Amino acid sequence: MLGQNTQGRNPRMKLTRGMILAASVAALTIGAAAASAQTTLRIQTHFSQETLSGQMAEKYIDDVTTMSNGEIEIEMFYASSVVKSAETFDAAATGILDCDMTGGSYQTGKNPAFQFAGDLMGGYANPYQQMAWLLHADGRATLNELYNEHNMEFVGWWIPGPESLSSTRPIRGVEDFKDWKFRSPPGLATHVFSNLGASPIVMDFNEIFTALETGIIDGADAANLTNNIGLGLYDIAKHTNFPGFHSMPADHLACRKDIWDAMPEHHKRIMIVAIDALAMHNASINEVKNAQNAVILREKGVNLYEWSPEELAKFRVAVKAGWEEFATTPEAKALLQSHIDFLVDIGAMQ
């Protein structure tokens, strides 16, 4: 009797074990497929590896690689080694690259709205204010309304902080901009400085040193104090302003839309979390390094000018006028208004 009952249970036991085994195999197969998900990205930055920002880009790669357990592989091209800085966005959008790690303001020729996706020029006082707009005022979604129209996905910002001009002649106030030939990024800066009497010349980021050395330009709107040192600008230009005030461009990470959409959700999240973390590391280390390098530059005989409140007010008037002149499309007006609303809301602008 006992033997008969045991034999009667065996088929069911075998069936149950078979179902469990099949389920386990299926789970392992799904897990293996998820584990084998791979994303390979070709990214270009305009920064060289020697600059602090170049080192921060390397940190981003390391963070993404580690957090993804090697599932995300990034090949970084430094110092605009594939195409010119201003061409990086199009190179990514058309498949020469996959992602652009330069800045939105290079793309103002497509739509002036890209100016307000990169640098409000005198709008935000520090990187933390600007990041607050991105993180807490729906900035990322707002920017993607613009980027998606151009086959790109805005992933995030990393902002070194207020920039310092470099010059072969004194820049103590607005009056010193008269007839000052300088390298300018494209976009709003050319309007603002032209209105103040300067002569902006748009050129690639990596052409600045030679232009200064040969006297083609008197100065440059390039980067902050620390990155200017990395570019070698103060070897030639012995005048600068510090603290910086005129510009605080956000370098972006933007990827081609089809590449981004095809990525697994956990890869997307890793990319976003890593760029937000980079933003904090980048802003804070630049704040420290700029303060330290200000001391070093003074010891080396570089003149650092701190502008008076009266001179800063003159510049701010020119910037506000430039905003209105430059925001000529519906997208630009909407993006500028979003920034202004936020600045008013936090009491940073009246």
Report angle CA 340, 189, 152 to the nearest 5 degrees: 70
pTM, full prediction: 0.83
Q: Are residues 227 and 108 in the same domain?
A: no
pLDDT digits (tens, 9 = 90+) for 200-247: 999 988 899 999 999 999 999 999 999 899 899 999 999 999 999 999
| CA atoms within 13 A of residue 91's CA, in its CB half-sphere | 21
Q: Are residues 114 and 198 in the same domain?
A: no
Report angle CA 196, 192, 141 to the nearest 5 degrees: 165
Is a pLDDT exceeding 90 seen at residue 51? no
**In which band, very low, low, confident or very high, does the pLDDT at 29 lie, cut at 50, 70 and 90?**
very low
Is a pLDDT exceeding 70 seen at residue 11? no
Name the DSSP class of 249.
Answer: P
Q: What ranges in the chain are assigned the alpha helix state H?
A: 2-35, 52-67, 88-93, 127-136, 139-147, 188-195, 208-213, 225-230, 257-262, 265-299, 309-326, 330-345
Q: Are residues 319 and 183 in the same domain?
A: yes
Tokens linked to 178: 């008269």
What is the reported pLDDT for 36?
A: 62
What is the reported pLDDT for 257?
A: 98
Distance spanning both ends of the chain, measured CA to CA: 93
Which residue would you say has higher pLDDT here, 10 or 192? 192
Q: Are residues 197 and 321 in the same domain?
A: yes
Q: Are residues 62 and 186 in the same domain?
A: no
pLDDT digits (tens, 9 = 90+) for 272-328: 999 999 999 999 999 999 999 999 999 999 999 999 999 999 998 999 999 999 999
SS3 181: strand
pLDDT digits (tens, 9 = 90+) for 109-148: 999 999 999 999 989 999 999 999 999 999 999 999 999 9
**In which band, very low, low, confident or very high, does the pLDDT at 349 lie, cut at 50, 70 and 90?**
confident
Give 46: exposed, middle or buried? Use CB within 10 Å, 0-12, 13-18, 19+.
Answer: buried
Using only the alpha carbons of the chain, give its radius of gyration: 26
Q: Are residues 235 and 189 in the same domain?
A: yes
With pLDDT > 70 as the criterion, what percentage of the chain qualifies? 90
Is a pLDDT exceeding 70 seen at residue 25? no
The average pLDDT across 159-170 equals 96
Neighbours of 287 (CB within 10 A): 18
What is the reported pLDDT for 305?
A: 98
The average pLDDT across 163-182 equals 97
Residues in the chain: 350
Q: Are residues 93 and 222 in the same domain?
A: no
Total domains in the chain come to: 2
**In which band, very low, low, confident or very high, does the pLDDT at 32 lie, cut at 50, 70 and 90?**
very low
| Residue 209 within a domain | yes
Q: What distance lies between CA 263 and its chain's CA centroid? A: 21
Q: For strand 181-184 and strand 219-223, is the pairing parallel, antiparallel, or unpaired? A: parallel
Q: Are residues 67 and 175 in the same domain?
A: no
Domain with 339 in it: 164-245+302-345
With pLDDT > 90 as the criterion, what percentage of the chain qualifies? 82
Q: Are residues 254 and 114 in the same domain?
A: yes
Give the Cα separation of 99 and 57 in Å (integer).
13
Q: Are residues 58 and 204 in the same domain?
A: no
Is a pLDDT exceeding 60 seen at residue 28? no
Is a pLDDT exceeding 80 seen at residue 16? no
Give the Cα separation of 12 and 17 in Å (integer).
9
| Residue 154 within a domain | yes
H or E segment and range at residue 43: strand 39-45
The residue with tokens 């959409």 is: 261
What is the reported pLDDT for 251?
A: 96
The average pLDDT across 16-38 equals 53
| Residue 2 within a domain | no
| CATH at residue 209 | 3.40.190.170
Q: Are residues 340 and 209 in the same domain?
A: yes
Q: Output the average pLDDT for the chain.
A: 91
The answer for 197, left when phi > 0, alpha when psi is -120 to 50, beta otherwise, is left
